[in-house]
Structure 1
Amino acid sequence: MDIRRKLIATAVLTAFSAPSWGQQVQPSEEIEVVKVTAQKRKEDPAKVAMSISAVTGSQLQAEHVRDITDLTRVVPNISFTAASGNGGAGPGTSNVEIRGISSTAGAATVGIYLGDTPVTVGNVYTMGNIEPRFFDIDRVEVLRGPQATLYGASSMGGTIKFIPNEPDLKEREFTTYTEGSNTKGGSANFAANVVANFPLIPDELALRIGVQAQHTGGYINQVDGDGKVIANNINKISDQEFRAALKWRPTRTLTITPSVYYQRVDAKDISAFNLELPLYQAQKQVREPSIDKLLSPSVTVNWDLGEVDLTSATSYFQRKFDRTQNGSAYNSYSLSTFLTSTEDGGKAPPELIAAIAGLPSAVYLNNQVRQVSQEFRLASRPYDEKVSPWTWLAGTYFSRQHTNIIENDPIFGVTDTFKQFGFDIADPDLLPDARPGQFPNDNSFAGAFHYREKQASIFGELNYYFSPTVHATVGARYLKANTTLEQRNGNYLAGAGNNSSAETSSSAFTPKYALTWEVNPTNTVYTSVAKGFRLGGANIYVPPTTCGPDLEANGIEKGPPSYSPDSLWSYEVGSKSRFLNNRLTINADVFYVKWKNIQQGVYLPTCAYTYNANAGDATTKGFEFDIKAKPLPGLTLSASGGYVKAELSNDVGIENGVVGAVAGAQIQGVPKYNAAVNATYNFSAWERPAFVMAGMQWVGSSKGSLDPEQTDHDRPAYHTTDFSAGMTFGSYAFTVFVKNAFDTDTIIQHPQVASIVQGYRLAPRSIGVSLATKF
């Protein structure tokens, strides 16, 4: 059977809208309504004037969605880029995009929230988004379109909210989950977690606590220069999570919930391989591990004051992200290019030049981000036509974020190599501009970068009900921000070195307008207009000594000292409908976005630096749909997808040195479409609840770079298929599953890792089993 017939057969058979733990044959054939907090209050998503996808924690677990990259294949018009800037392809380096609002440079374009805690970080110096693991999650909400009014700067394309489970004041609960699988051509995977809920004082005080450990086996082998395997499955990843939350309700109207979340992601190497070698082989002189740690304590207070509700969200997060890159291809090679051969009238023997170029070099990056934030909100009571036609929400927000980055680039053995050939590494007649002390402990570059960002804003939304079925929404946020960058760098490859600081200030007014009409109790139509915004900032210093040829190729003499804010206006029309007694739901929308002054990263391939520039304007337009149906008892079908056309609308980027930034160029990292078809059939087998399911996801082609000469310029379309089946035995739920069943091996992206173009693909097929318990 050819692949097309397999795909058609899979789509016709079933396609996965996975069951929750211990799934029973439901007595109700209605489709579950998942309440959301998109507008900072819990409500039916059908009544919210925006495009929303909500995926429950039980669905995430049953569908084996392990990370954000899995999520992008099952939620319409959300995508990811495996590398931010020159960051590589590994945990903590990805960039998330929604609706074509994609940029791997500058401030983030998608807001990331863990409960009420904003954990959004910019695309700073090879760091990507924080990626909370899906542990003890009630649901994930994907809010498409600008969310600046309620969520502030950086929520230009949308916001992703990880909503954890709250402690239950009434019921004691103990759950476990274990999973084991094996990856084709790789090593074993496992996951295990335990969560307990204890009502310490019934109806007043409860504790919820849980731990999780996961291991993802690798499938990429490291080889030496002769192609001999020297290490197997190097891209394995282990992570651990811990969460504890205490819910205290001292009075009927007051609830205080302190919580803490911690995760540690330990990647032994990146998930990228050399294109010129056999599949899944990486030739490198230096391994590229990373450890990404996140700590986030918070306190949320909800106080019912009668006519209004007061919410206070106090939070802190700290991210420590230490990683190593293989810098041999540019540190060692760049140094060798400064030597002039004796064959060309210089002092350096060709053998010395070759020896220097072949030395191993590492890039050690120690990144730390700390943020404290405080938000206060006042919200009116929900709409009641007998009380008032008005509802409202108002709040203030403050945050202070510090990012510190330390970089060291040793070229191992460089001083001794010069000595072996009878030369002094500090000889300026041999090595231009050399002087003593420029290679301490063989370190060719040392840099320290300190970013500080302060934000303060006020925001609010006002709803007026012309009738119980028609209401208008007007919202706005006023934001002021200040950012500073202090940088110091030195040693030989820093050229003359640099000690400098820069400061930028921004302010923005981001309004929102919406009109909602409940045509009948099961059909809502809406239209909205909203503005999005993100901050500008200072650029890191680009040394002209090593980066001069790259800068000249881009038509500039030196790297720009700063980049400007960018903003957009979004226009959306949508409908949300339920039919057949809620056995069929159809949500659909169309959107059009005008984006001005886009922040984009300009990668300099020879010296491996990246600076940020504003690459003109763009437009994005498209649509999304989400359909769910229960046509027969026990059978649930769903289909969702989106299309987006995201293009630059002028040539301004060329003037700022962004190669390929011409009108009509497709914005990088944005698939033209994605789609998923899903189905689950629940039935009884031997008088026990059972299910079978399968699913397919398609991701369209995209551009990884504006520069048509780059290998990553053209990213192909791809698809993947998953199957699962299971049965419940009392308190135990047993499942067997297959991920990437047809072993799709398309190289979907070509990240540049320390100036080397590599390949990135989906993990090969994995087959496994899981066991869940609940007491």
Structure 2
Amino acid sequence: MSILHSKTILKASVAAISLGCISTPSHAQSEPAPVPSPVPAPPQTGGDTATTNGNEDIVVTATRNSQLLSKVPLSISAFSQEKMDLLGVKTIADIAALTPGVTFTQRKAIAIRGIVSNAGAGTTGIYIDETPVQIYNAGAFVTDAVPALFDLDRVEVLRGPQGTLFGSGSMGGTVRYITPQPSLTKYSVYARGEASYIDKGGPNFEGGVAVGGPIIQDKLGFRASGYYRRDGGWIDRIDRATGAIADKQANWGESYALRAALTWKPIDAVELTPAIFHQYRYTNTSQGFPVTTGDGASASWEGFSDPSHGIFRSGARIPTPGRDRSTLYSLTTKIELGTAELIGSTAYYERKNHNITDSSTYDSFFLGATITPTSVNIPGFGDWDSYDEIYTTQRSFSQEVRIQSGRQQSFRWVAGIFYEHNKQFNTESFHTPSLDALIGAPSTVRGDLGFFGSIDSKNSQIAGFAQFDYDVTDRITLTAGIRKAQLKYSFNGENDGFYNGGLTSASGNTKDSPWTPKFGAQFKVDENNLFYANVAKGFRTGGANAPIADTVCRNDLAASGFASAPPTYGSDSVWNYEVGAKNKLFGNKLQISSSVFRVDWSQIQSRLFLPCGFFIVANLGKAKSQGFDVQLSARVADHLTLGANVGYNDAKYTQTLATSLPGVNLVTKGDKLPISPWTATVTGDFDFDLGGKSSYVHAEYRYQSGYPNLIEQNPANTTFNPNYYDRSATHLVYLRAGMRFDALDVSVFANNLLNSHTTTGRASDNGTSLFIINNLQPRVIGMTLTYRR
């Protein structure tokens, strides 16, 4: 039966989208259409795109080979540098907000298709070019690095397990930051400057420039870039006794990034590219969570704040800064071998992270503090001072060597080996300056510390992988892939101090040897219409728990069904099943990318927070995540393009995990995973000629639903918290208008145009009556200058 007619294809696409009737709006816009221009677009700094009738088709390397996005049989979103400039993308939170099936959680984690965890190895692979940079969540306040989004060729977001080709932490999916490579033939310049102002807050500004080109034509080229950004604050830190402002607009932050790369081609068949990327981030208030744009933390105290009138205040007694410094050294080698290519990637990654948090409410567990919504007092000592200082260092070496065939062969393959060795050292120092005087005896260790903990951990892996694609006919292609890995994790930990009940120590190790297969099939109706199906497994290694003193947490462990803290926890894994379609209809005026999926997650690694102030990691049974994602772009008129991205994700536990106590569960069947079920983005782009200049208007609406019925909201569970906040839905409007003067683009913009002040998080601080809230960043209005030649 012929299906070549556009109307028939449209019906088939709608049928594929509606399978299971699960609509998964997860912050949309993976393949968003750029603003088309009646004059030639400025030259690219990196990857290629194809644009027809106003719709963009970007080149990606999700299968380790270069392919147009519309030809890749995966659920994938990609953002070119030009698209990110148009959308005002500044952080990974923005990428998540524009990508169906993806959310950036308040715990600074990337959740793809509901797969996210606050413990153990990452569930999302994070790559800078060929190098994985995610961190192992071994201690308190450990989060993944967030690369600056400046001099990038593109960002790719791959949904579903990518264990075959991207094995490191890619259980739920992979986010790839692809940098522009030095050119051996032509010079290019990219520069961006921006200034803006937060409503009732401070100013933001940024500036960056990237240049590159040949040093010796066709033999040696370079690319170098530098970038700086300062994010203003909108939350005042006040003296909680007097109400006087101690630090106005305290949640400001700044960051800079430097990158340099050389490409040397000594002979035609060999290409060497050494590179260095260095980044520094400072947040003046590390307590809180990242916001939609900017990197400032957004935590304020409910008792002092009035979001409806733009008043956000924190009662932290001391400054609570956060610093994050990372450097990546890499060498990529490419050797042409006739019809195949050998690629080697060697990298060393180093990261240092330091955070301070106000922890005065923690003392209420031990010292009988009187805590109100605006104060923390201990009789005879007044307003209590204590703070937590957390250091994390990460050093990682990785090496991958692979060989792959060319794209034009009917039998295509890629095979390789991967090695990684990662060391981490985490320390937590709980400063309690008045503790000795309060209890009348020496109790602190190492100066004024009421608690000191350290975890020295190592994890390594060696893996072999291969993937094969075979064109059975000119329309049907079959895919099979496998990865076999040897994973090891070991650690030594020590806790000490009054709050720990004295010195405790522990050590542990785990080993795993997983197979992570993938199977796929695709059917090409014609050059513009593709249908596919994939089955893939994802895997995450187990780990070991830090030492916990039984004298302090014995009762809380017993209430959770544990005789003592378990020394280790096991691995977990997922199976992902998906079908999808990619269609270009009506002469490419309409592009649709859609998929329907189901993910089965077993032995979920998760933290269990105990009332004594410590946590353990345990395997919490099974969960199922199912839904769909749809991305479409329609050129509805000569100068008007409309886009929509919708994602639905129903992610919940499918198994009750009971404790040894009657009627008490660790988790109950039906409890939801902490992600928004619905996310959506709707965009409109209007291009026109004004005074002989190419001009445009971009409008955008973002929606993210709340997420009720979590583990912490179920009275049957040990972690039940009656004060747990049911996250509210958010509605955000963005607007940008600009004009192009040859290579210069001048635009004005408004983020959160309607100045929504929705509370996105509310939590009792250590179980007390003091509540910390999180709100959207207020309206931001500004101007951007972009130069690209």
TM-score normalised by length of structure 2: 0.87
The residue identity in structure 1 corresponding to 2:379 is A
The letter of the residue matching 1:766 is: V
CA contact (8 A) 1:752 1:758 kept: yes
**1:336 is aligned to 2:367:** yes
Offset of residue 712 of structure 1? 4.0
Report if the CA contact (8 A) 2:369-2:379 is conserved: no
**Corresponding letter in the other structure for 1:80:** F
- Whether the 8 Å CA contact 1:747–1:761 is kept in 2: the answer is yes
The residue aligned with 2:750 is: 738
- Is 1:191 aligned to 2:218, yes or no? no
Q: Conserved in 2, the CA contact under 8 Å of 1:615 and 1:654? A: no
Asked whether the 8 Å contact 2:37–2:694 carries over to 1, the reply is: no
2:314 equivalent to 1:298: no
Aligned to 2:261: 245
Q: Distance in 1 between matches of 2:126 and 2:39?
A: 30
Indicate the RMSD between aligned Cα atoms, in angstroms. 2.5
Could you tell me which residue of structure 2 aligns to residue 57 of structure 1? Answer: 81
Gaps of 5+ in 2: 1-30, 43-50, 288-296, 307-311, 371-375, 714-719
Instruction: Give 1:407 deviation, angstroms.
Output: 1.8
Once the two structures are superposed, residues 45-97 of structure 1 have per-residue CA deviations (whole angstroms, 9 ceiling, x without a partner) of: 223221000011121122111111111111101012222xxxxxxxxxx1110
Query: Is the deviation greater in 721-730 or in 550-559?
Result: 550-559
SS in 2 for 1:71: helix
Q: For the residues of structure 1 that align with 2:730 and 2:212, how far apart are their CA atoms?
A: 42
1:750 is the counterpart of 2:771: no
DSSP 3-state at the match of 1:508: coil
- Does the CA-based 8 Å contact 1:705-1:713 persist in structure 2? no
Q: Name the residue aligned to 2:515.
A: 509
Q: CA 1:21–1:112 in structure 2 vs 1: closer, same or farther (change >3 Å)?
A: farther
SS, match of residue 85 in structure 2 = helix
Taking the aligned partners of 1:632 and 1:617, their CA distance within structure 2 comes to 48
Alpha carbons of structure 1 residues 499 and 659: separation in structure 2 relative to 1, 3 Å = same
Q: How many Å apart are 1:581 and its aligned residue?
A: 2.3
2:292 is the counterpart of 1:261: no
2:266 is aligned with 1:232: no
Q: How does 1:619-638 map to 2 (within 5 A)?
A: 619-638=624-643
1:109 aligns with 2:114: no
The DSSP-based 3-state class of the residue aligned with 1:149 is: coil
Tell me by how many angstroms 1:769 deviates. 0.6
Which residue pairs with 2:457 in the alignment? 451
Cα distance in 2 for partners of 1:198, 1:704 equals: 55
1:556 aligns with 2:572: no
CA contact (8 A) 1:333 1:356 kept: no
AA partner of residue 82 (structure 1): Q
Residue 506 of structure 2 corresponds to 500
Instruction: State how far apart, in whole Å, the 2-side matches of 1:21 and 1:543 are.
Output: 65
Which amino acid in the other structure matches residue 371 of structure 1? S
Moved more, 395-404 or 69-78: 69-78
Q: Which residue of 2 aligns with 1:646?
A: 651
Q: Which amino acid aligns with 2:222?
A: L
Q: Matches of residues 579-594 of structure 1 in structure 2 within 5 Å? A: 579-594=585-600
**Do the aligned partners of residues 74 and 712 (structure 1) sit closer, same or farther apart at CA in structure 2, a change above 3 Å counting?**
farther
Q: Could you tell me which residue of structure 2 aligns to residue 274 of structure 1?
A: 301
8 Å contact kept, 2:569–2:619: yes
Write the deviation string for residues 516-573 of structure 1: whole angstroms up to 9, x where unpaired: 1101111110111111100110011222333344324323242221111001111100
Q: Closer, same or farther in 2 for the Cα pair 1:602/1:458, shift >3 Å?
A: same
- Which one of 107, 132, 142 corresponds to residue 127 of structure 1? 142
Q: Distance in 2 between matches of 1:591 and 1:658?
A: 33
SS of corresponding position for 1:551 = helix
Say which is worse superposed, 508-517 or 17-26, in terms of deviation: 17-26
Query: Aligned-pair distance for 1:466?
Result: 1.1
Shift of 1:352: 11
Is the 1:398–1:457 Cα contact (8 Å) retained in structure 2?
yes
Seen in structure 2, the aligned counterparts of structure 1 residues 355 and 164 have a Cα distance that, compared at 3 Å, is farther
Q: Does 1:425 align with 2:441?
A: yes
Distance in structure 2 (CA, Å) of the matches to 1:402 and 1:575: 42
CA distance in 1: counterparts of 2:223 and 2:38, whole angstroms: 21
In the alignment, is the contact (CA less than 8 A) between 1:18 and 1:679 conserved in 2? no
* Pairing 1:561-576 to 2, within 5 Å after superposition: 561-576=567-582
SS across alignment from 1:135: coil
The corresponding residue for 1:411 is 432
Q: Contact 1:25–1:634 (CA<8 Å) still a contact in 2?
A: no
Is 1:173 paired with 2:173?
A: no
Q: Percent identity among equivalent residues?
A: 29
Q: Which deviates the most, 647-656 or 148-157?
A: 647-656
Find the counterpart in structure 1 of residue 738 from structure 2: 726
Q: CA deviation at 1:609?
A: 1.9
1:749 Cα deviation (Å)? 2.3
Kept in 1, the 8 Å contact 2:171–2:540? The answer is yes
Shift of 1:355: 3.8
Deviation at 1:219, TM superposition (A): 0.7
CA distance in 2, matches of 1:23, 1:545: 73
Residue in 1 aligned with 2:356?
324
Instruction: Name the aligned partner's letter for residue 388 of structure 2.
Output: V
Deviates more, 1:126-135 or 1:696-705: 696-705
Letter in 1 for 2:99: V
Would you say 1:140 and 2:155 are equivalent positions? yes
Amino acid at match of 2:414: L
Deviation track 1:618-654 (CA, whole Å, cap 9, x = no partner) reads 1111001110122222322211111010110011265
Say which of 396, 401, 411 aligns to 1:371.
Answer: 396
Partner secondary structure for residue 46 of structure 1:
helix
SS of the residue corresponding to residue 784 of structure 2 reads: strand
2:407 pairs with one of 382, 385, 390? 382
| 2:52 is aligned with 1:31 | no
Give 5+ residue unaligned stretches, structure 1: 1-14, 84-93, 340-350, 427-433
Please say if residues 518 and 525 of structure 1, whose CA atoms lie closer than 8 Å, have aligned partners that are also in contact. yes
In structure 2, C-alpha distance between the alignment counterparts of 1:158 and 1:753, rounded to whole Å: 33
Give the AA of the match of 2:693: R
Alpha-carbon separation, structure 2, partners of 1:713 and 1:757 = 10
1:667-713 CA distances to partner (integer Å, 9 max, x unpaired)?
12x11111111121111101111111110111112149411143445
CA shift at 1:298, angstroms?
A: 0.5
Q: 1:736 to 1:117 in 2, by over 3 A?
A: same
Tell me whether 726-735 or 506-515 shows the greater mean CA deviation.
Answer: 726-735
Q: What is the match of residue 701 of structure 2?
A: 696
Normalising by structure 1, what TM-score? 0.89
One-letter code aligned to 2:155: V
How many residue pairs get matched?
718
Deviation at 1:281?
A: 1.3
How far residue 732 of structure 1 moved from its aligned partner, in angstroms, is: 2.5
Q: Distance in 2 between matches of 1:658 and 1:105?
A: 23
Q: Distance in 1 between matches of 2:490 and 2:653?
A: 29
Residues 20 and 61, structure 1, Cα contact 8 Å, conserved in 2: no
Mapped contact 2:631–2:646 kept (Cα < 8 A) = yes
Question: Is residue 738–residue 748 contact of structure 2 (8 Å, CA) maintained in 1?
Answer: yes
Alignment-mate amino acid for residue 336 of structure 1: L
Q: Is contact 2:36–2:687 with CA below 8 Å preserved after alignment? A: no
Q: Distance in 1 between matches of 2:244 and 2:280?
A: 32
Distance 1:203 1:21, change over 3 A: farther
Q: Tell me the distance in 1 between the aligned counterparts of 2:572 and 2:404.
A: 30
Structure 1 CA distance for aligned equivalents of residues 222 and 541 of structure 2: 39
Shift of residue 236 of structure 1? 0.4
State the one-letter code of the partner of 2:737. Answer: A
Q: State whether residues 54 and 641 of structure 2, in contact with CA within 8 Å, keep that contact through their aligned partners in structure 1.
A: no
Q: Distance in 1 between matches of 2:706 and 2:608?
A: 22
Q: Is the partner of 1:665 in helix, strand or coil?
A: coil
The 3 A distance-change label for structure 1 pair 659 and 411 is farther
Deviation per CA, 1:318-354: give whole Å up to 9, x if none: 1100111112111x33441599xxxxxxxxxxx9962
> 5 Å matches for 1:661-672?
661-668=667-674, 670-672=675-677
Change (3 A) 1:289 1:137: same
For residues 534 and 216 of structure 2, the distance between their equivalents in structure 1, rounded to whole angstroms, comes to 45
For the 8 Å contact 2:471–2:477, the answer to whether it is kept is yes
Aligned partners of 2:617 and 2:382: how far apart in 1? 29
Query: Structure 1 residues 704, 303: CA separation in 2 closer, same or farther (over 3 Å shift)?
Result: farther
